[in-house]
Structure 1
Amino acid sequence: MDPSNTPSSTRRIAHPKAFAGLLVALLVACGLQLRGPDGPRQGWWDERGPVVPHDTFPADCSLCHVGKGWSTIRADFQFDHLAETGVELDGAHDGAQCLRCHNDRGPVQWYAAKGCSGCHQDPHLGRLGATCTECHDTFDWFPSGILADHQSTRFPLEGAHLATACASCHPAAEAGQFTGVSTRCESCHLEDALGAQSFDHVASGNLTSCEQCHQPTQWGGGTFVHNFFPLTGGHALSDCSACHTGGVFSGLSTNCFSCHADDFTGTDDPDHVAAGFSTSCDECHNIQSWEGAAFNHAFFPLTAGHSISDCSACHGSGTFAGLSTDCFSCHASDYAGAMDPNHVTAGFSTACDECHNTSTWEGANVDHSFFPLTAGHNLASCTACHSPGTFMGLSSDCFSCHASDYTGASDPNHVTAGFSTSCEECHNTSDWGDANIDHSFFPLTAGHNLSSCTACHSPGTFTGLSSDCFSCHASDYTGANDPNHIAAGYPTTCQACHNTSDWDDAVFNHDFPIKTGAHKNFSCTQCHTNPATYAVFSCIDCHEHNAVDTQKKHKPDEVPGYSYNSAACYSCHPNGKGD
């Protein structure tokens, strides 16, 4: 077994000082011979001692060697480099021969302390720093992470630059030499700019600042950032020379008229020159299409009836500036020719928009808020009220129009009744016949809710009437016989017993109970024996008392002032129970 090819991670010896024995084994295994006085010979040492000192190695050589010679290493030889030395061997170091580090150069610690440069010569001559691990690792010498590191430089690699060999920009890269180079595109791509055919970079003076048009993904198909004048709509042209004639690219005006003067002067619908239109083309035109201009007519909105596709319909003479926005300036003939109603004779205002709108000239809607045209006043023809064509100075008083209705009314006769000419006190605009007088001074409820006014107001007398019941119901009072109101001496304040719902359903406040007890349902004449007057009543006629028996029950010492008569009975027995 060759120890130089044995992975150090598996090499292990049990003796605490096995490291010295390992070095001996390495010398023998690598064919290193010790020299004696007569020349090379295999042995433990010569006058100079072994190549690698074994002073600290174990005295038991069999820990590493077998046989009589020292060139054979034990088959079960193992050495854990990390555990025994504290240094881990990984990557390419794990498979390296031991003598690559452990040789006669001196103690390993001397040159290991220098880091990578202790063993590896720096091909970069110190230009990239002393920390080799920033680009290299222990697995192979080929650099790793160089592209990622390049992204933090002043020239990040992207697009086609990612696949470009380092030596293309850094000529000495193959020798490990990386020197600073220019980041200007033209430093590498000047020949591309000089040889471009689709766009003459020389004539246009565009040999530098390549990044304005080109991307690092590909050199062909350059795209210029034209954001100072967006190439959209009709300006989205594939050929730069369509606007940049003669190869002129700088100093051109962004004003529309600078390119479209011929369009301006050649337009005849409408004639821009004759109309004196502004040369600020973008006031009407857009970049999508030169045709179909849309003029900002906000100072006079072109809506509804004014939404006309032909400008000459209003601007017939080709005059576009200085025209009045007053309706009458265009519609004077409509005003003069109107017959229903005749605007001239009526003296209507020439401010057409007071009644008309832009949707249709017909069907004007006058602002009649000073006299609302609701219900019965909502007439289709103005002449129904404004006859013969008089519109100004008319009174808004109902009687001014309805005098004939007032004088012709017969149920009731308004004239003889002396009714007020303020028609709205009783009538409304919905129905002239459905009058509703405010009778709140004498509520017309229940029996008074009569359909005909003459039922009470006869013969047509409406003013000066009394609200006293007896003034209308005297005949009812004198004709009543059950009981006889006159004989009974009832008051003429009818409402004391009667109500407006039913005249016959009277309710008399009888102090003596006649609705309950023994007197319930008695006829008035049973107690009031004198039909000529109800002020007289009799108790003793019904109760069959006699003076002798009554005298016994009313002893003077018990009932002082006793007297045998009905009035005396009632004075003591008002509840009719006799107790």
Structure 2
Amino acid sequence: MKKLIKITTLLILLFAGLNLSAQFSPGKLSKAHADLEGLANCTKCHELGAKVSEQLCLDCHKTLDFLINNNRGYHASTEVKAKSCISCHSEHHGVNFNSVRLDEEKFDHNLTGYKLKGEHGKIDCRDCHKPDFIASADIKKREGTFLGMEQECLNCHVDYHQTTLGNSCTDCHGFDNFNTLLGFDHNKTDYPLKGAHVEVDCIKCHKKTTRNGQEFQQFSDIAFAKCTDCHEDQHDGKFGNSCTDCHSINSWQKIKVSNKFNHNLTDYPLEGQHLTVSCAECHIGGDYKRDLAFAQCLDCHDDYHEGEFIKPDLSKPDCKECHSLQEKFSYTSYGLEDHDSSDYPLEGAHLATPCFACHKPNEDKRWTFKFNSTNCIECHVDIHEGFIDSTFYPSQDCKSCHQLENWATIDFDHDQTDFALQLAHQETDCRACHFKVDANLELGFSQKFNDLASDCYSCHAEDNIHGNQFEKEGITDCKTCHSDNLKEWEASFFDHNKTEFPLEGKHTEVDCKECHKSQVKNSFGDFTTDYNIEKFQCIDCHSS
């Protein structure tokens, strides 16, 4: 026994003297495995009589064991999982040897189960694989490690929405540009976008602000039940909160044809004929925001009367003084009392004259109400112009002769003329002397007032039943026998005793007709009486 101990001791000393320890260890371990240096630790990685054991590796590298068992990460990929650890991570090459031999430029990140997309494919590996993004305190201590990373966006990126929208960033965002929303569908929210809202930039509704010291854009907890939650009420609450009763979501400027809008809530309630007017006739081009003047009718309507009723102070007239909203414009409430307060109060026959008889349409078919004067000839034709001397009707004032009550009634003082009217002439119609109706009615009538002869025959020639029986030097003087009294047209002035046959005895009682017989004068049946008797013997009359 003592002999065996001696031999063993000698062998050990021999090997030690020959520095044969290297025959048992291929070389120094790297810094990562430095704690496993020495023969006593060989079996922590090596199985006796076998190569390096993958299971022993994973017993130590528990993080990788967890990932492989859960089919996660690079080492769980089919291209790596079947390989031995030593095929990639050899050892015993010295303390400074890097056992993780990774060519970052050629590394296929798809094998990790996290495919680099968009901007992720452009950045440096260490921008992501750094302690800041590793949650595990143990892994975070490992220098240069690629482990400990999670795939959720918020493990690396700051939550811009500050927990207001959940953790699934890719529901809305892509990998190329954070501000470009790819998968977001607003119609799946509580407020589907419709009409003009579809074209609105997000920032118009989702304002940027500051929250917890960071820039923040609000996407949740935004009031939207009423339009006025977002839009300014241009009507200051006058029309309630239900904007869609009048406005379309396709355009704020387009007003829906709706009976819901109550115009009476505005500063200009609609009445009468205005109720039948389309909105666009007042709100030109559908512009309902533009302020409209409405204090006076002429703010909207053209002045039909073209300034005829402008007031003395040059202010616009008030159309309501004559016109009513309840009736059409052609109707007027202007009455006799109103006309009495005008420059021309109505009197006599004018009271019964229709308005349009005086206020006639002019060349543009517009009724006129402004006259240059109130003289009769402004409206009436002066049929006497050039026939009556202006002495008898100065300034062509018809009222010099005519009355307003009846145009045919003449009130003229004939005594102003050279022929004063007496007796029957006073009752004679003016036209009987001054007018002559032509036998052919198409020629109308002729009139004469100046230079009229004053002898009876000049007027009564056609009425002269005596012919030329009483002519003296070509003139018949009716007044020799007759008076002006029509009722006494008989020859009251005639003195038979001044003739060649003075009446005596019974002759004074004989009716004139007994001696002066009447006979038919013409084909019209007119009679004439023979007063020019030349035979005065008894037998000439009393043949029996």
The TM-score, its normalising length taken from structure 1, stands at 0.29
The TM-score, its normalising length taken from structure 2, stands at 0.30
Higher RCO (C-alpha 8 Å, min separation 6): 1
